[in-house]
Amino acid sequence: MSRVDIQNLNKHFATAEVSAVNDVSFGLGDGKILALVGPSGSGKTTTLRLIAGLERPDAGVIRLNGKVVAAEGVFVPPERRGVGMVFQDHALFPHLTVYENIAFGLRGRKNAEIRTTVNEMLGLVGLERMAGRYPHALSGGERQRAALVRALAPRPVLLLMDEPFSSLDADLRREVRQQVRSILKMLQATVIFVTHDQEEALYMGDLLAVFHQGMLEQMGTPEQIFHSPETPFVAEFMGASDFLEGRAVAEQIRTEIGTLPQPAPKGMSDRVQVALRADDVDFVLAAAGNGMIVERLFLGAFNLYRLRLDSGQALHAFKGHTEILPIGSRVEAFVCAGHPLAVFEDGNGVGGR
């Protein structure tokens, strides 16, 4: 049985032209982390709020641990769903110490049980010495860990996290999310995690659900989402793909930068678009090549080159951080993927960068 079961969930706001959540269905097993990822306005945060009970769905069914908490004629309020939440701003009570913040959700239990649980939680995140401090006296990372264990202390059926690292700087963000994921896996917590950051979604999630315009475009493991995107949007959003025209001939696809040794998907016409990421493309300087360098972006560990093929098509390619080549140089670009590429029907909403 899934810990979370969502069926045909819908939510429309009167001020919006399109539904915030449009016929979304998915399940989540016990002890798994699901990352909801997508651009702003894609429906991921509304979905989270519907599961939490902070919004009432227009249609659909939400089950938590087998219990219906939202359906036609049924609406269980947030405080009775057994759900914990970690917000963007941590939402710690400023007038309570770290110890008191964690103990807040344990009200009604015996004092000895509260002390034991709070001390276990503090030890879990290394905040034992911070127990008597108030939130304003903590660093960003310490506040994040305090908010996490406050949500986990009551042992919720499900933990919901809404962009929890967005207020942290880049270096601290990487460090804290590593700590948080380790804690969540150690406790075998079931988690739904919202982010607009593709790298963060790939790192945090056992599973990813990619949202676009209120719809769930694809759900799967990070590897499935990245290597086998099912729609052009997923290919472009999860890895910044360019799309190159091709023609399917026999068991190959011919493109202007070479022939790919793979067939087009069954049922597709012979005119296709191939999704290419920067690590799928390479090039060499060649006076009689098929394109030219139009831009170089130095990104530290590597250079990102933007190429313009003779057809006008734009492609991107990585080179090592020491390979600095002149803008305007003629090049011969080619595919170097070493794995099957995602292929879509030509004209099916794809485009290059």
Tell me if the pTM is above 0.85.
yes
Burial class (CB in 10 A: 0-12, 13-18, 19+), 98: buried
pLDDT (0 to 100) of residue 267: 82
Eight-class DSSP state of 230: S
DSSP state string for 188-215: T--EEEEES-HHHHHHH-SEEEEEETTE
**CA-based nearest residue to 316, from 298, 285, 293:** 293
Question: Are the beta carbons of 128 and 122 closer than 8 angstroms?
Answer: yes
What digits encode the pLDDT tens for the residues 92-105?
Answer: 999 999 999 999 98
Phi, psi for 116 (deg, rounded to 5) = -60, -45
**Average pLDDT rounded to a whole number, residues 3-25:** 91
What digits encode the pLDDT tens for the residues 140-162?
Answer: 889 989 999 999 999 999 999 99
pLDDT (0 to 100) of residue 23: 96
Question: Are the beta carbons of 187 and 149 closer than 8 angstroms?
Answer: no
Question: Are the beta carbons of 42 and 211 closer than 8 angstroms?
Answer: yes
Domains of the chain: 4-233 (3.40.50.300), 241-345 (2.40.50.140)
Q: What share of the chain is helix, strand, coil (3-state, %, to 5)?
A: 25, 35, 40
pLDDT of residue 220 exceeding 80, the answer is yes
**CA-based nearest residue to 290, from 309, 315, 269, 314:** 309
In the chain, % of residues over pLDDT 90? 80
pLDDT of residue 349 exceeding 70, the answer is no
Sole residue written with tokens 């659909």: 60
What digits encode the pLDDT tens for the residues 189-202?
Answer: 999 999 999 999 99
Question: Are the beta carbons of 121 and 98 closer than 8 angstroms?
Answer: no
pLDDT (0 to 100) of residue 89: 77
**Average pLDDT rounded to a whole number, residues 38-54:** 95
What digits encode the pLDDT tens for the residues 64-92?
Answer: 999 999 999 999 999 999 999 998 777 89
pLDDT (0 to 100) of residue 59: 97
pLDDT-derived band at 1 (thresholds 50, 70, 90) equals low
Q: What is the mean pLDDT of the chain?
A: 92
Buried/exposed code over 304-323 (b: 16+ C-beta within 10 A; e: otherwise)? ebbbbbeeebbbbbbbeeee
Sole residue written with tokens 């910044």: 240
**Average pLDDT rounded to a whole number, residues 177-194:** 92
Q: Which two tokens stand for residue 36?
A: 């909801």
CA gap 128, 120 in Å, rounded: 9
**Average pLDDT rounded to a whole number, residues 280-305:** 96
pLDDT (0 to 100) of residue 164: 87
Question: Are the beta carbons of 35 and 211 closer than 8 angstroms?
Answer: no
Please count the other Cβ atoms lying within 10 Å of the Cβ belonging to residue 128: 13
